[in-house]
Amino acid sequence: MQLWRTRPITDTPPILIVDGVWVQILVPTGQTWRDRSGHERVEMRGQERVVLAVMGVWEDGHHELLHYEAAEAESTETWSAVLAALTQRGLDPAAVRMVVSDGTTGLPAALTQYVPAAQQQRCTVHKIRALSRQFCYRDLLMTDPITQEPLSFEQARRLRRQQLTTDAQAIFAAPTRTEALERLASFRTTWGALEGAVVRLLTKDIALCLTF
């Protein structure tokens, strides 16, 4: 595994997809214990660690995992260490055109230092999922817009979530940036008074979601 993690990179992909995956990892505590056979064993204890992973994507669509590294946090320092390791293995910073990620705060500064020519594309799935935390369900529509049948409160809430999520997804599915911005303006008009917190969260840093 160590040989795989340090193998030379001879073909730099134009796109990097990066993410941190939080898992339980067994870490030595510094203590030992003896098993029933009298053998001395190293005591291990599960601790939360984040595995920083980098996947490369090439023009023909093929992709592969380039690197992973366990860390205690997603910070500028830990992401810098990952990008530094890739550079040392032969990654050409000038050839990286785009880096796709979620909204982790430590990453942008590391990208500026190690792949300054690359644009960042924020994950739109993370963006839309995060909206659910901001719903206030003001002035719910209590009848089905198609059948005109009455809705329960939970059905009305579900309908609101579906409508708003569909409208948000349509922004990122637009074929051009101009049309995406037009759909964003329509989204603000439709939902601004009803779900103001949702609109503010969606529009925050949305330019990074429209890079691609």
Q: Which two tokens stand for residue 134?
A: 């901001």
SS3 123: coil
Alpha helices for the chain (secondary structure H): 2-5, 76-88, 107-114, 124-130, 153-172, 177-191, 196-203
SS3 33: strand
Backbone angles phi, psi at 27, to 5 degrees: -125, 135
Are 87 and 109 contacting, i.e. CB atoms less than 8 angstroms apart?
Answer: no
* DSSP one-letter code for 118: P
The secondary structure of the chain in percent helix, strand, coil, rounded to multiples of 5, reads 40, 25, 30
Give every residue of the chain whose pLDDT is below 50, as ranges.
Answer: none
| Torsion angle of the four alpha carbons 85, 91, 97, 101, in this order, in degrees rounded to the nearest 10 | -30
Looking at residue 27, what is its pLDDT? Answer: 87
Cα angle 212, 98, 133 (rounded to 5 degrees) comes to 60
In the chain, CATH 3.30.420.40 covers 2-122
Closest CA to 13 of 77, 86, 82: 86
> Which pTM does this prediction carry?
0.82
Closest CA to 16 of 58, 61, 49: 58
Looking at residue 140, what is its pLDDT? Answer: 92
Q: What are residue 24's DSSP bridge partners?
A: 48
Query: How many residues are listed for the chain in this entry?
Result: 212
Tens digits of per-residue pLDDT, 102-134?
A: 988 899 999 999 999 999 999 999 999 999 999
Looking at residue 131, what is its pLDDT? Answer: 93
CATH annotation of 2-122: 3.30.420.40
> How many angstroms separate the CA atoms of 54 and 71, rounded?
14
